[in-house]
Chains A and B, each alone.
Chain A
Amino acid sequence: MSLIKQLWLTITGVLLLTFIGSLLVGVTSSHQYIEQEIRIKNIDNTNALALSMSQMDKDPISIQLLLAAQFDTGHYQLIELIGPDGEVIDRRTASEAVSDVPAWFRHLVSFDVPAGTAVVQDGWRQYGTLHLKSQHSYAYRTLWQSTLRLTGLFGLIAVVSLALTSWLVHTIRRPLYHVVQQAQAMGERRFMTSKEPRTLELKTLVKSMNRLSLAVREMLNQETDQLEQLRRQLQHDAVTDTLNREAFLDRLANALDSEGDIASGLLIMVRVTHLTEVNQHLGHQATDQLLNQLSRMLEQLSTSPSYVGRLKGCDFALLLPGSDQSEALAAQLQQGLEQLHQSTEIALTTPAAISHYHQGQSRGQLLAQLDGALAQAENQPIGIITTQADAEAVLFTTHDDWRAALQAALQDGIELAHYPVISNQDSLLHDEVPSRLKIKDEWRTAGLFMPWISRLEMNAEFDLAVTTQALADTAQTGHPVGVNLSTQALHKGDYLTRLINLIQQHSQWAHRLWFEMPETAATQFPTEFKHLCEQLSQLGCQVGLEHVGPQFGKIEGIEDMGLHYIKLDATLSHEVLLNPTKQSLVRGMATLAHSLGIRVIAQGVQNSDTSEQLFKLGVDGVTGPGVRQDKKA
């Protein structure tokens, strides 16, 4: 039985007991009082009448008259005069006239009052015995009515008490309800605190719950921090806090394989020559400081996302996806290096090389090319050599040419490639559908044109065109499709409205659309991203983040965004088989994501062994070159 019900029963019981108790007391005392009054009246009136009769002549007519007068003008049930031999001299009776009192009540409270008795004297002799009973039916009515009144009054009191009770129950129930909500929210990894009620016991409960809520939140934060620490250990150079060689090369390979707008950009290498001598001159600490200074300078060269890595002890690299402003960058780098030189006591030689990269290039070739350029630059203190882009990789030389070509290609239509995302049950989660555009009579992969779409800010039209195509595709194949949206979508005028309109026109397929954005969308524009999530979720679409790194737990308000899935950065699944630290990292991320109700998909999976390992680590789905669906689910 619920506590509330018990409370109700108790209060009703107490009310009922009180009612019965006071009814009993009330009726009993009235009953006693009335009975006593009747008894006294019987005795007194009998004596008075007998006294009068004793004084007069015992003429039967006079006796009768006296008796009748007394009876008729008073309230009597019985007056009788019995002679000494038991014969009735005169008798008057009236019925016990009770009209509107239920028989059971009369029976229950029946009055038992003996008749008054007195002897009428005739000289020394006794003339007769007088018996007199008062009419007391009015007493039943009085008692009945007072019972009814009491019942009515109690009814009123009961209503008031029950109203008070329901208020009381409400005040108990509300904090309890909040605590339940809080516990449920905690289950969904949302941490809220509720207002403390005034009732002491409930206050303690709510207080403890609030404390628990905060503690669990704290715990999750710690978990995220640990993951971050782990990632740093794994991927970062201890001295300069830049990416280590492996992490950087992973990142580069990822960019070169990309179908997105990171597929082309700039790669810069800076070398501090004669590092051993520098170390000897400056000492260990100052050298470390110098390298740190260089790293910070490289990180600050660009405002867009960039990656700095330490490839060897003396070699630093900067990856700038999406950028093509090599001249401006060279100038900035020149300036930065000059400052570095000035702030150092000894003469430095820091040659640098800048190179464009684009999708499909070999990583080794690219690095070798930069290495060669560095060698040329080494004879100057600050020599910056910009290698020219591959002539054959360059389709157009000016922005205008690119714009015209892309617009034409969009007019011609988009083709979608299909790469399955497979769940751990070997069923298809969705198809990744990187787009293909026909440029210069050839179907070109996204890595080639995506950086240009971004540079020329054509994302809105492009995304809408891709979504249209994706809707057509899913209608045809019946497979869910994953569509990439660009970050620009978040703050570009009517973009979202147009997207929603488009989906609403094909609302029957909306549940098959999986929209994803880069992690930076959520870190840079959390409010807008949350809004987008809500809008698209309402339509039935899935929303996720891609290229997600281990810090994703730190994203502000991640638990409230209503995110459906994340795609792990491809560098996380790279060589996960061999690297135990990476395994812990992936496992930690999967646990954290699941605790937030988010599915985890690994990208860039090379083979089935890796898939299996990832599933073991708790990943829900995999995609990449080594993933294909064997059995149709």
Chain B
Amino acid sequence: MTHPDKVKHSPSMTRRQSLRLLGGVLCLSLWGIGSAGRVEAGLQPDRARLRQTMQRAYGQKGLAVLEQWFQLLDQAGQGSLAEKLTYTNDFFNRQVLWVEDPEAWGQEDYWATPLETMGHGQGDCEDYAIAKYITLLTLGVPMDKLRMIYVRARLGRSNISQAHMVLGFYVKPTSDPLILDNIISEIQPGSQRHDLTPVFSFNGQGLWTGGASQSQANPVNRLSRWRNVLSRMQAQGFGV
């Protein structure tokens, strides 16, 4: 486990310095105390790797969707915050067919990575939320403004409720969040969504810090569903 930043920033390092650095790195790795790298603004997806993964898993069709996603990133990257939110929300609501997990993945509550969601062309609510969350992070939206929110959703006018997940965008922690949802494709403030009752929210903070240093090989990651999907994303090349 080396520290690429440090090495990169001191190209004319003296021999002694590099020895000291090497010693420090060895020491750290020996004791398992790796300093976790901070998350920088915006994820840096490894497009080549993503393409490779997509090609292998979903073939040409998946690859086409991925290319569109790259296009979205390129276009929305130039745009305003509102455009980023809208484009992202629309992209996934359009590309992905809403199904329940067992239909899409053959298992209850499978959390798919954006790549899997795009490749498959279908997913359930958390797959939408995750895909949008990752896309917005990639577009440079700060993480502390994005939260995935567990909500109780009342469908239509019936009294049937179901567990649902949406992505919330907070201008400030105390403000009314903008909700990116797949039931109602239009972005609306939370206070206007009378069909939704928020229960709990989370994002990658806290977990994220470990993300860079915790490899997918770490079996503990698989135990938590959220960390599991983060690990898979990292492996697929999302630059998480």
CB-contact partner of B177 in A28, A32, A124, under 8 A? A124
Beta-carbon contact of B172 and A84 below 8 Å: yes
Residue of A nearest to B207 (CB): A43
Complex CA distance for A129 and B190, rounded to whole angstroms:
20
Contact with A along B205-234 (1 / 0, CB 8 A): 111011000000000100110000000000
Complex Cα–Cα for A46 and B173 (A): 18
A36 within 8 A of B: yes
A54 touches B31 (CB 8 A): no
> Given A40-B220, A118-B206, do A28 and B31 touch, yes or no (CB 8 Å)?
yes
Contact A116 B206 (CB under 8 A): yes
Number of interface residues of B (CB under 8 A): 32
- CB contacts (< 8 Å) of A54 on chain B: these are 199-200
Contact of B210 among A32, A39, A118, A126 (CB under 8 A): A39
Instruction: Chain B residues near A28: list those with CB within 8 A.
Output: 30-32
Contacts A28-B30, A43-B206, A43-B207; is A124 near B191 (CB within 8 Å)? yes
Given A55-B199, A124-B191, the answer on whether A117 and B205 have CB atoms closer than 8 Å is yes
Q: Complex formed: what's the CA distance from A60 to B129 in Å?
A: 32
Decide if A123 is an interface residue (CB 8 Å cutoff). Answer: yes
- Bitwise, B13-44 to A at CB < 8 A (1) or not (0) is 00000000000000000111101100000000
Contact partner, A51, options B149, B174, B200, B210, Cβ 8 Å:
B200
Give the CA-CA distance A124 to B172 in the complex, in Å: 12
Contacts of B176 in A (CB 8 A): 124-125
Q: Given the complex of chains A and B, what is the CA–CA distance between A46 and B202 in angstroms?
A: 11
Q: How far is the CA of A43 from the CA of B200 in the complex (A)?
A: 15
Which residues of B lie under 8 Å from residue A24 when comparing CB positions? 30
Q: Do A126 and B173 form a contact, CB below 8 Å, given A24-B30, A36-B220, A43-B207?
A: yes
Q: List residues of A (425-452) whose CB comes within 8 Å of B's CBs.
A: none
Q: Say whether A121 contacts B198, CB under 8 Å.
A: yes
Assess whether B174 is in contact with A119, with CB atoms less than 8 Å apart.
no
Q: Which of A32, A112, A121 lies in contact with B201, CB distance below 8 A?
A: A121
Q: Which residues of B contact A337 (CB under 8 A)?
A: none
Would you call A125 and B174 a contact (CB within 8 A)?
A: yes
CB distance from A22 to the nearest CB of B (A): 14
CB of B202 within 8 A of CB of A126, answer no
Does B87 sit at the interface, judged by CB under 8 A?
A: no
- Kindly identify, within residues 164 to 194 of chain B, every residue whose CB is under 8 Å from any CB belonging to chain A: 168, 170, 172-177, 190-191
CB distance from A140 to the nearest CB of B (A): 14
Interface mask (B42-67 → A, CB under 8 Å = 1, otherwise 0): 00000000000000000000000000
Cβ B205 vs Cβ A124 within 8 A:
no
Contact status of A123 and B220, CB under 8 A, knowing A116-B206, A117-B205:
no
Q: In the bound complex, do residue B173 and residue A84 qualify as a contact, i.e. CB atoms below 8 Å apart?
A: yes
Shortest distance between the CB of A43 and any CB in chain B (Å): 7
B residues within 8 A CB of A40?
Answer: 220, 223
* Identity of the chain B residue whose Cβ is nearest the Cβ of A112 in the assembled complex: B33
Q: Given A43-B207, A126-B174, are A35 and B32 neighbors across the interface (CB < 8 Å)?
A: yes
Contact of A124 among B190, B220, B224 (CB under 8 A): B190
Q: A39 to B211, alpha carbons, bound, how many Å?
A: 13
**Chain A residue nearest to B179 in the complex (CB):** A124
Neighbouring A residues of B199 by C-beta, 8 Å: 54-55, 121
What CA separation (Å) do A151 and B33 show in the bound complex? 24
What is the bound-complex CA distance between A555 and B33, given in angstroms? Answer: 85
Query: Which residues from chain A contact B32 at a C-beta distance below 8 Å?
Result: 28, 31-32, 35
CB proximity to A under 8 Å, residues B82-122? none
Interface residues in A, total, Cβ within 8 A = 30
User: A84-B172, A84-B174 given as contacts; is B202 within 8 A of A118 (CB)?
Assistant: yes
Q: Is B132 an interface residue (CB 8 A)?
A: no
A115 to B: closest C-beta gap in Å = 8
Can you list, as one digit per residue, whether each of A97-127 has a CB less than 8 Å from chain B (1) or not (0)?
A: 0000000000001001010111101011110
Give Cα A121 to B168, complex, Å. Answer: 12
Say yes or no for A510: interface residue by CB 8 A criterion.
Answer: no
Q: Of all chain B residues, which has the CB nearest A40?
A: B220
A123 to B196, CA, bound (A): 10
Bound-complex Cα distance A141 to B176 (A): 48
Q: How far is the CA of A15 from the CA of B19 in the complex (A)?
A: 28
Contacts of A31 in B (CB 8 A): 31-32
Within 8 A of B (CB), among A21-52: 24, 28, 31-32, 35-36, 39-40, 43, 46-47, 50-51
Given A36-B220, A84-B174, A125-B176, check contact A114 B209 (CB 8 Å).
yes
Contacts of A117 in B (CB 8 A): 205-206
- Whether the Cβ atoms of B170 and A126 lie closer than 8 Å is yes
Chain A min CB distance to B83 (Å): 23
CA distance A129 to B203 in the complex (A): 12
Instruction: Fill in one digit per residue for A592-628: 1 if any B CB lies within 8 Å of its CB, else 0.
Output: 0000000000000000000000000000000000000
Interface membership of chain B positions 110-148, coded 1 if the CB is closer than 8 angstroms to chain A and 0 otherwise = 000000000000000000000000000000000000010
Per the bound structure, the CA–CA distance linking A35 and B172 in Å amounts to: 33
Kindly name the residue among B32, B35, B149, B175 whose own CB sees the greatest number of chain A CB atoms within 10 A.
B32
Check if A119 sits within 8 Å of B202, measured CB to CB. Answer: yes
> Is A126 touching B201 in the complex (CB atoms < 8 A)?
yes
Collect the chain A residues with CB atoms within 8 Å of residue B147's CB: 119, 126
Q: How far is the CB of B110 from chain A (nearest CB, A)?
A: 20
Residues of A within 8 A of B206 (CB): 43, 46, 114, 116-118
* Residues of the A chain whose Cβ atoms lie less than 8 Å from the Cβ of B201: 119, 121, 126
Give the distance in Å from the alpha carbon of A28 to the alpha carbon of B30 in the complex.
Answer: 7
What are the residues of chain B within 8 A of A126 when measuring CB–CB?
Answer: 147, 170, 173-174, 201
Please, which residue of chain B has its CB at the minimum distance from the CB of A84?
B173
A454 to B177, CA, bound (A): 141
Contacts of A85 in B (CB 8 A): 174
Q: Which residues of B contact A112 (CB under 8 A)?
A: 33, 35
User: Which chain B residue lies CB-closest to A32?
Assistant: B32
Beta-carbon contact of B168 and A124 below 8 Å? yes
Q: Give the chain A neighbours of B168 by CB distance below 8 A.
A: 124
Tell me the nearest residue of chain A to B206, going by C-beta: A117
* B31 contacts across to A, CB distance below 8 A: 28, 31, 109
Q: Determine if B175 and A121 form an interchain contact, defined as CB atoms under 8 angstroms apart.
A: no
CA distance A153 to B209 in the complex (A): 39
- Complex formed: what's the CA distance from A114 to B200 in Å? 22
In angstroms, Cα B106 to Cα A213, docked, is 90
Closest to A55 in B: B199
Contacts of B210 in A (CB 8 A): 39, 114
Chain A proximity of B1: nearest CB distance (Å): 13
Cα distance, A68 to B220, chains bound together (Å): 30
Q: Say how far B157's CB is from chain A's closest CB, in angstroms.
A: 22
Q: How far is the CB of B179 from chain A (nearest CB, A)?
A: 8
Residues on A with beta carbons closer than 8 Å to the beta carbon of B220: 36, 40
* Complex Cα–Cα for A51 and B207 (A): 17
A residues near B205, Cβ cutoff 8 Å? 117
Q: Are B200 and A125 in contact (CB under 8 A)?
A: no
In the bound assembly, the distance between CA atoms of A47 and B150 in angstroms comes to 13
Q: Which chain A residues lie closer than 8 Å to B173 at the CB level?
A: 84, 119, 125-126, 129
Q: With a CB–CB cut-off of 8 A, which chain A residues contact B33?
A: 35, 112
Q: How far is the CA of A54 from the CA of B202 in the complex (A)?
A: 12
23 contacts between A and B (CB under 8 A): A31-B31, A35-B32, A39-B210, A40-B223, A51-B200, A84-B172, A84-B173, A112-B33, A112-B35, A114-B209, A117-B205, A119-B201, A121-B199, A121-B200, A121-B201, A123-B190, A124-B177, A124-B198, A125-B174, A126-B147, A126-B170, A126-B201, A129-B173
A residues with CB within 8 A of B: 24, 28, 31-32, 35-36, 39-40, 43, 46-47, 50-51, 54-55, 84-85, 109, 112, 114, 116-119, 121, 123-126, 129
Nearest 4 interchain pairs by C-beta: A124-B190, A84-B173, A117-B206, A32-B32
Instruction: List 12 additional A-B contacts (Cβ < 8 Å) besides A47-B202, A112-B35.
Output: A40-B223, A50-B200, A84-B173, A109-B31, A112-B33, A114-B209, A117-B205, A119-B201, A124-B198, A125-B174, A126-B147, A126-B201
